[in-house]
Amino acid sequence: MKEKTSFFKWMALFVLVFTLSLPVTAKESFAGTMYSVSVSKGYLALRTAKAYDSSNEIGELYTGDTVEVMDTSDNTYWYVYSAKLGKSGYVNRNYLVAQGGGSYAGGSSYTVSVSKGYLALRTAKAYDSKNEIGELYSGDTVQVQDTSDSTYWYVYAPKLGKSGYVNRNYLVGGGSYTGGSSYTVSVSSGYLALRTAKAYDSSNEIGELYSGDLVEVLDYTGATGYWYVYSPKYDDFGYVNNDYLDSVTSSVSSYDTMWTVSVSTGYLALRNAPEYDASNEIGELYSGDTVWVSDSSNSQYWYVYSPKLDGYGYVNQEYLYREEGLDTDSSYFGEIRTVSVAKGYLALRNMKAYDASNEIGELYSGDTVQLLDTSDSQYWYVYSPKYDTNGFVNKDYLVGGNAYATLYVKVPTGYLALRSAMGYDAANEIGELNTGDTVVVIDSSSDKYWYVYSPRLMKYGYADCNYIFCN
């Protein structure tokens, strides 16, 4: 009996010590600020205590890894949660860099511009071949997270899927070429050279631009006379003398620029120049394909963007038509919605009616559509990226909107089931969500089960909202 009593005393003491060892200042949920790890070499240790000691290491974090900071009360060691390791612990704050707003998307986007070679992505603010972790070339984009240093900025490189430091002198603009302003080349004779550097030199020419060619201006702040541009004709970046550029004045703008291709046979060619020539074809557009018109100043060939081909070019405007009666003034126009069906599929139709003969596609839960016309009480006209075509769908099976909230999972034990249907049933489990996982809430209209997207599982489904928390 004495041995039994001693055992229970030992267990009680263990529980007490364990409880007291927990950080009393840590928040109740994983809803802190996101930081990125930045070490010049090796790793940043995740520790069980606020001390440099090899015996308290419980994980290794490397440059580019992210953590969620829960407690910043200590001058050196912050309490964090690591989704990578699935653990909480202490790290030395001197090796953390704040992410702009807690998301890579929050940083300003810049474009790499090097005259030759590449721009190194580095683990430290120094020119050293040993700290290179990636190569960035002209035209690559980065999202800037920290500009406090006069030379080396901390960035996230989507191309590499890594964070690190780059020399800011080789970054231009603050946006990508798809968001640049359109200009037309205008030369009295000859051509306008596309160059690798801001200088008149025959050795730096990489392309010839003629009157009527379009460029997207990325940076206006270079040396006098030279702007950094993207050329759809060459699908390349470079510098041009701005004296030979005219601003594009389009007769259509915003969402009013969307037109639909209509050809009786064959295809409509997307071209890199405003003229009919077999050598300038860069893509094929078929009836039902949509394009966004950037410049309609030419009477024959309009400059457009094709979502299907993900590229710019010229098309013969005689084969474009406007969708009549589109509810372009609706506040919903252009928004994205997600398909949600309990079973089977949502039919994409060519008419506003339930009829097996008018089905042109099958949309399943998780598929997305873009709203074009919401004027009908039942059938909405949408664009389907999956089929790259327009059609009608029953609106009752669409959920969500443009602004989706990213929330956090927190369960006291075990996991939160991601389900294929609203209901507690072992048969409908399609994944396991753990504490610290994030979910994107698509539809929160139910008071029990929310329709969410799990980035980690890369799946859509339903989850019990009682275990989902905001910041």
Length of the chain: 471
pLDDT at 313: 79
pLDDT at 45: 92
Domains in the chain (CATH in brackets) are 26-98 (2.30.30.40), 102-172 (2.30.30.40), 177-247 (2.30.30.40), 254-321 (2.30.30.40), 336-399 (2.30.30.40), 405-469 (2.30.30.40)
What's the pTM value of the predicted model, to 2 decimals?
A: 0.30
Q: State how far the Cα of 450 lies from the Cα of 123, in Å rounded to an integer.
A: 40
pLDDT at 310: 64
Q: State how far the Cα of 36 lies from the Cα of 96, in Å rounded to an integer.
A: 6
> Measured between alpha carbons, how far is residue 170 from residues 152, 224, 400 in Å?
10, 18, 40
Q: State how far the Cα of 455 lies from the Cα of 449, in Å rounded to an integer.
A: 18
pLDDT at 23: 39
Q: State how far the Cα of 228 lies from the Cα of 249, in Å rounded to an integer.
A: 20
How does pLDDT run across 160-192, given as a tens digit for each residue?
877 788 888 777 755 433 345 667 788 878 899
Give every CB contact of residue 217 below 8 A, 6+ residues apart in sequence.
180, 181, 182, 183, 227, 228, 229, 245
DSSP H or E run through 47: strand 44-47
Low-confidence ranges of the chain (pLDDT < 50): 1-31, 100-106, 175-179, 223, 249-256, 324-325, 327-329, 331, 402-403
Burial of 180 (0-12, 13-18, 19+ CB in 10 A): buried
pLDDT at 248: 53
Token code pair at residue 400: 């969500």
Q: State how far the Cα of 256 lies from the Cα of 246, in Å rounded to an integer.
A: 23
Beta strands 268-271 and 281-285: pairing type?
antiparallel
Map residue 451 onto helix, strand or coil. Answer: strand
How does pLDDT run across 247-267, given as a tens digit for each residue?
653 333 333 356 788 777 889
CB 61 within 8 A of CB 38: no
Burial of 61 (0-12, 13-18, 19+ CB in 10 A): buried
Token code pair at residue 98: 């704040």
Q: Per-residue DSSP letters for 321-334? A: E--TT--TTSTTTT
pLDDT at 199: 82
Q: State how far the Cα of 145 lies from the Cα of 135, in Å rounded to an integer.
A: 18
pLDDT at 2: 43
pLDDT at 46: 92
Q: State how far the Cα of 429 lies from the Cα of 135, in Å rounded to an integer.
A: 42
Angle, CA 71 vertex, CA 68 and CA 76 arms, to 5°:
100
User: Checking phi first, is residue 351 left (phi over 0); if not, alpha (psi -120 to 50) or beta?
Assistant: beta
